[in-house]
Amino acid sequence: METFVCAGCGRIYLEQSERCGHCGAEMEERPASGRGIVYSFSSVHMGARGMPTPYLLALVELEEGGRILARLADDDESEPSIGGKVIFSGLSDTGPVFRML
Amino acid sequence: MRGVSIVGAGITPFGVREESLVALGAIACRNALEDAGLGPERIGAFFLGNFAGQAFVGQNHIAPMVAHATGLGAVPCTRLEGACASGGLAMRQGVLAVASGQVDFALIAGVEKMTCAETDETASILAAAGDVAVEASVGSTFPALFGLIARRHMHEHGTTREEIAHVAVKNHAHGKLNPNAHIQKDVTLPQVMDARPVADPLGLFDCSLISDGAAAVVLCPSETASAHHEKPVEVLASAQASDSPALSDKRDITTFYATQKAGEEAFSQAGLSREDVDLAEIHDCFTMAEIIALEDLGFFARGEGGRGAVEGMTKLGGAMPVNTSGGLKSKGHPVGATGVAQIHELTLQLRGEAGARQVPGAEVGLAHNLGGSGATCAVHILGATA
Ligand SMILES: [Zn+2]
């Protein structure tokens, strides 16, 4: 997993860009293991327009530090839990997706 | 800076309203002017809180439209947008305009018309109060953000699902006594706990209402206030603070830094302590948000806010009733109107005019208005005339 971290505000991105979309500062490339833990999660039953429900949202804390909001793959049989281990499984139309370990 | 007082307050009933966005605003404004016994020609500046006129009804630039419909003439009209704190920001700008001596009378209003949109469309419009690039794009909605916050708060501080649900039961019990509330009926604890999930752990009754409505107040210098109302209400503090909206930018999502800062600043301005507050209108966009605000404002220690509704301290008859109006939960949450409607409720209470929900002998009230997931916060403290 490749991450791009803003040198100004510290935001983590999974796609490369010249400058941070939040603050405009320059980005630094940072290799990441793709491993993280669930900081919090919610199963969304009434969602945003055009998004089939339910889906799992999680705030994931990466092993290297920093948090990102992501989808948790819900084709999994295990229940998410705070502190539960997750691994990056790819980028979808709705951003990063993690899978429970 | 001179002291500022409220000499007029007006509101429309909250709920599903037939009137247009602009007409709702104008009705609340006329009610407030009438309450102050002032003609529109006396007003020197108009500040209007509105979040998403364009997105909900296709109309922007509504401050001069509401002003024209109210007969304010050529006065400077300014619309404030700070998500769900838009009304609180309008109030603060009005206070500053009068306190600085720039104008002698300021009219403040807040308005939103939301019920014309479908629920999922509304969820998407409201999601734009968060950081769209990293939140809405992933499928997060406001209930989802507060679901994440609630689950973390339960995990870190031991707050229980039942404590969170008690906030809804309490606020509905209060709203039942408010003839302007959107929903004037009780809900039971099992109803809240077993309601259809929206973004777990939060269910349907943990979420505030999608409403139409408007509220307005008239401000003038305290030194002349008694000439315009027999019971002027003094603005003892007007504070505002900011933070990043994105949950991923926050070190701790179980607290809102902007509320802490605005609260500290407000108590310092007023020279009062937490024990001096007789009642509060707290931004309960979600049940969990009321609990966090009670902690952030210093009324309860971290992790103890859930006790308020369960043990009755924040109920009518308790030590510091919270959301006697019914709050956003039961009175309703026309986003841009909310911050001004909180001021309206405190004004009634501090005049002793709140009817069945009156807090006996109320002298000091606090209004807490939060924008989005905590990026903007306005806190006002009001005092009754001695
Ligand atoms: Zn940045």
Q: What pLDDT does residue B34 have?
A: 98
Residue with the larger pLDDT of the pair B356 and A50:
B356
Residues 19-78 (A) with a CB less than 8 A from some CB of B: 21-22, 39-51, 55, 57-59, 66-71
Nearest CA in chain A to B151: A40
- Does the residue B326 lie in any domain? yes
B333 in active site: yes
* A33-101 CATH pick, 2.40.50.840, 1.10.10.10, 3.40.50.11240, 3.40.120.10: 2.40.50.840
Nearest chain A CA: its distance from B78 CA (Å)? 27
CA distance B119 to B9: 31
Structure tokens at B197: 């999930």
Tell me the pLDDT tens digit for each residue of A8-43: 999 999 989 999 999 999 999 999 999 999 999 999
Q: What pLDDT does residue A48 have?
A: 80
Q: Which of B29, B77, B84, B220 is catalytic?
A: B84
CA distance B383 to A15: 53
Distance from the CA of A48 to the center of ligand 1, in angstroms? 26
Q: What pLDDT does residue A76 have?
A: 61
Residue A75 pLDDT more than 90? no
Q: What pLDDT does residue B386 have?
A: 76
What is the domain-level CATH number for residue B32? 3.40.47.10
Domain limits for position B340: 130-208+235-384
Number of folded domains that form chain B: 2
Q: What pLDDT does residue A47 have?
A: 84
Residue A49 pLDDT more than 90? no
Q: Residue ranges per domain, chain A?
A: 1-31, 33-101
Q: What pLDDT does residue B107 have?
A: 98
Tell me the pLDDT tens digit for each residue of B287-341: 999 999 999 999 999 999 999 999 999 999 999 999 999 999 999 999 999 999 9
Q: Which residues of chain B have pLDDT under 70?
A: none
Structure tokens at B12: 């429309």
- Does the residue B14 lie in any domain? yes
> Is residue B362 a contact partner of residue B319, using CB atoms and an 8 Å limit?
no
| Complex confidence, ipTM | 0.96
Distance from the CA of B49 to the center of ligand 1, in angstroms? 30
**B25 and B100, same domain (yes or no):** yes
- Does the residue B168 lie in any domain? yes
Tell me the pLDDT tens digit for each residue of B103-142: 999 999 999 999 999 888 898 899 999 999 999 999 999 9
B155 in active site: no
Reduced 3-state DSSP string for A21-85? CCCCCEEEEEECCCEEEEEEEEEECCCCCCCCCCEEEEEEEECCCCEEEEEECCCCCCCCCCCCE
Residue A97 pLDDT more than 80? yes
